[in-house]
Chain A
Amino acid sequence: DIQMTQSPSSVSASVGDRVTITCRASQTISSWLAWYQQKPGKAPKLLISAASTLQSGVPSRFDGSGSGTDYTLTITSLQPEDFATYYCQQGDRYPLTFGGGTKVEIK
């Protein structure tokens, strides 16, 4: 199985800050990488697919990049509604696997 390692597990940041979350796969996943945002008590929301494709309606302050085994989600200017937990997920091969999550908290 492909293991997905996210870091950091949590980050404290202020509104307007730039936040970067990384995700490392245990083997190459050929950019089959998705990012989700989840708020407490809610279902996940797909932000980015195929490593860098922003989903419709997602603000442009969210940016995905990476290739091979290493991927990054950047929030260029953190907004109040962005405080949430973020997950990466590989879709290259079964079983599909998620990272452990990164909680973005208010500083």
Chain B
Amino acid sequence: EVQLVESGGGLVQPGGSLRLSCAASGFTFSTFWMSWVRQAPGKGLEWVANIKQHGSEKYYVDSVRGRFTISRDNTKNSLFLQMNSLRAEDTAVYYCARAYSSSSDDAFDIWGQGTMVTVSS
């Protein structure tokens, strides 16, 4: 079964750090672009970051660039999001998602269940 499972969310104080992980299974992880997408409580979807198959290209939304780092370990079929200098507006459910084909980075067909990040004092 093709599956993504996120972990690492939780409550953190403003200015703090958190590292999210996403474990992939059921497909050849190294052949797909991967993404993080977030959703603030009661709000819409917001794309956060993308990473190419072997990590040579990374893209970020402006609001997280310089604070968040997307990375992957293809030997462990894992995707990561290191989040530093967290702000209240980063509070959201964070989803890990897979591009819908090995030659695309524009849309995502496999999603994890999400992990909640709450930034509050």
**A-to-B contact residues, CB < 8 Å:** 1, 32, 34, 36, 38, 43-46, 49-50, 55, 87, 89, 91-92, 94-101
Contact = CB atoms under 8 A, between A and B. Distances in A.
B95 A91 contact: no
Given A43-B95, A46-B100, A89 B107 contact: yes
Given A95-B61, A96-B50, 14 more contacts: A1-B62, A34-B108, A36-B45, A43-B114, A46-B100, A46-B109, A49-B106, A89-B107, A95-B60, A95-B62, A96-B47, A97-B47, A98-B44, A101-B45
Interface of B: 35, 37, 44-47, 50, 59-62, 95, 100, 104-109, 111-114
Dominant SS among interface residues on chain A: loop
A34 B107 contact: yes
A85 to B, nearest CB: 8
B47 A95 contact: yes
Nearest to A100: B44
